[in-house]
Structure 1
């Protein structure tokens, strides 16, 4: 395909170059009658040269990609789970691509600041976004006036998913989902559930649990995961939907009890805890995830190179081991599958947000 483009453009330039050109006295180089004024020739030849560049520049750049450092924009502050996963990924991605991949933290506005930056970046594969599910599935429903759309991005690769467990304080009068549901039905609106803030993923997962069980929670909103977990450990709140990173060690230590997980299958970190699905609640499923996106319009060969490299890394035992240590699961998807998943989750969570009347200030 590329060779055909180069040949055709070259033939066009050669053809134009063979045209007779008029000189100031009206004769061409052969001394015969002129057919094209010199000014017209140079305009046409200049246009042909630009056409040649347009046809060949992108394939040539894609062939040499990458020839300099790549920036991976993490739309969270340093030190959090997202940042840790991104740094583990770029260690191997830089080695695979032959050029360093550098983390640039651009936190703020529920990931929208970092997303907006990448949406407006050059379409050359040197500025990428390490997006969370929030970026594309819930922000469009909760944040007014965000300045990016999913259509502004090209999906590159899924990286990991973050499973959740539904936990209760250690002295809660229920030891399984059946007894928890019975208690919640007998005390409508009295069970309080911690969240990481209104509209957060943890809030939405808690609402999925409540609606799936047919019970009502009194949500208690905190400014982040750490204070919510601390009050769970102190027994101040009754329940929470905790990421596996925290729920697995705290459950094993007896700090609180995990009653069920929201994954499709049981989790190796707590294999004794059933899924909601196997307990008869197939709608109580959910996780968050991290994936890589590029600006829409990035050359396809560049996207293919990135996708291939990331998928190869995500499949390695070393990456799986390191993810399992922090409670995540490697997750491989093609770019097409990633786009379909994002759209499906955006619709599902958008309906939940509307039905529950969830808003953020």
Structure 2
């Protein structure tokens, strides 16, 4: 014999949709049981690049913690637009996340006309890591200092060429600003990711690259490329002999790339917190942290309440660099 409460519910449940609509558990209850199925982490760039390396390290630890499958979904193309837009339009339930960076979630808004998504229209979860840049040349380059590279770029003739991980990336904007400020003739050669750009740099197909150290550290270690200057306020521990760009008078191109986790706007706050906590735990693992730091990353996390304002400030900062570089991209 059903209780009075159960009897009152039965008529509602007899009509599909009515019971689900009127009696759905609150967002906090849904978040408490999350995740109950596969979580998809979108990487808006091809496999093998810096964002992909970070994503796979985090996803593996999430999977261990949650007991649910975590799939890394590489959706490269359009300077990160395709992957970021897919997450922007996804359901706000926590099952589709994106590991974006300063390009997808800061510069693209100022750079690309008719951008299909709003870089500020995501729920910010946490900063994951920073990646300082280095100005690098092929081992065969005659340039041994930044000043010598500038001199090569000022000589009459066809000028130099520089690679970037994609049009509109931090490497593109900083290289273009560097060339403009120093009166260099330099042609931009964009690639679909840092890995193929670095390979052409090794081959001497291009003359220089402003690359995240994480994407080229192994190539420098085996002597296939040479760093002329490194970003940040201090020399890299693994490159103590290479001066910073600031030391050489080029501080305006010493900014870091950053990588952060975002969800569709409207994702329950409890889910955002759960992802943040799991990410902090993943990056606190000595093996994971050591491997990523050895690859050139600087691990740095922020709670959602802190990461949101940081993200907004970065949108403003990178927009200013876009204006100085004079770069625009039609979508």
TM-score, normalised by the number of residues in structure 1: 0.75
Structure-2 residue corresponding to 1:8:
none
Cα distance in 2 between the residues matched to 1:187 and 1:171: 21
Secondary structure at the residue paired with 1:128? strand
What does 1:11-50 correspond to in 2, within 5 Å? none
2:26 corresponds, among 51, 57, 65, to 57
What does 1:171-320 correspond to in 2, within 5 Å? 171-181=140-150, 190-210=159-179, 214-224=182-192, 225-226=194-195, 228-320=197-289
State the Cα distance separating 1:119 from its structure 2 match: 1.9
Indicate if the aligned counterparts of 2:154 and 2:185 stay in contact, CA closer than 8 A: no
Indicate if the aligned counterparts of 2:179 and 2:186 stay in contact, CA closer than 8 A: no
State the Cα distance separating 1:50 from its structure 2 match: 9.8
Cα distance in 2 between the residues matched to 1:253 and 1:207: 28
Structure-1 residue corresponding to 2:51:
82
Indicate if the aligned counterparts of 1:247 and 1:258 stay in contact, CA closer than 8 A: no
Q: Which runs of 5+ in 2 are unaligned?
A: 13-18
State the Cα distance separating 1:302 from its structure 2 match: 1.6
Cα distance in 2 between the residues matched to 1:78 and 1:173: 32
State the Cα distance separating 1:230 from its structure 2 match: 3.9
Secondary structure at the residue paired with 2:251? coil
Q: 1:173 to 1:338 in 2, by over 3 A?
A: same
Cα distance in 2 between the residues matched to 1:338 and 1:215: 37
Indicate if the aligned counterparts of 2:134 and 2:227 stay in contact, CA closer than 8 A: yes
State the Cα distance separating 1:308 from its structure 2 match: 1.4
Q: Identify which range, 266-275 or 128-137, moves more after superposition.
A: 266-275
Secondary structure at the residue paired with 1:221? strand
Q: Which runs of 5+ in 1 are unaligned?
A: 1-13, 18-41, 43-48
Q: 1:355 to 1:91 in 2, by over 3 A?
A: same
- Indicate whether 1:159 and 2:128 are aligned: yes
Indicate if the aligned counterparts of 2:44 and 2:83 stay in contact, CA closer than 8 A: yes
Cα distance in 1 between the residues matched to 2:220 and 2:324: 32
Q: 1:114 to 1:271 in 2, by over 3 A?
A: same
Structure-2 residue corresponding to 1:126:
95
Cα distance in 1 between the residues matched to 2:168 and 2:278: 34
- Indicate whether 1:343 and 2:322 are aligned: no
* Aligned pairs, number: 314
Q: 1:175 to 1:142 in 2, by over 3 A?
A: same
User: What do the CA deviations read for 1:238-266 (whole angstroms, capped 9, x no partner)?
Assistant: 32212324533333333332111123332
Q: Which has the larger radius of gyration?
A: 1
Secondary structure at the residue paired with 2:277? helix
Q: 1:311 to 1:182 in 2, by over 3 A?
A: same
Q: 1:140 to 1:254 in 2, by over 3 A?
A: same
Q: 1:127 to 1:189 in 2, by over 3 A?
A: same
What does 1:344-359 correspond to in 2, within 5 Å? 344-359=313-328
State the Cα distance separating 1:51 from its structure 2 match: 11
Q: 1:271 to 1:196 in 2, by over 3 A?
A: same
State the Cα distance separating 1:304 from its structure 2 match: 1.3
- Indicate whether 1:117 and 2:86 are aligned: yes
User: What do the CA deviations read for 1:66-118 (whole angstroms, capped 9, x no partner)?
Assistant: 23322222223444432332121111112223333222333333222222222
TM-score, normalised by the number of residues in structure 2: 0.81
State the Cα distance separating 1:187 from its structure 2 match: 6.5
Cα distance in 2 between the residues matched to 1:50 and 1:243: 49
Q: 1:277 to 1:340 in 2, by over 3 A?
A: farther
State the Cα distance separating 1:354 from its structure 2 match: 2.3
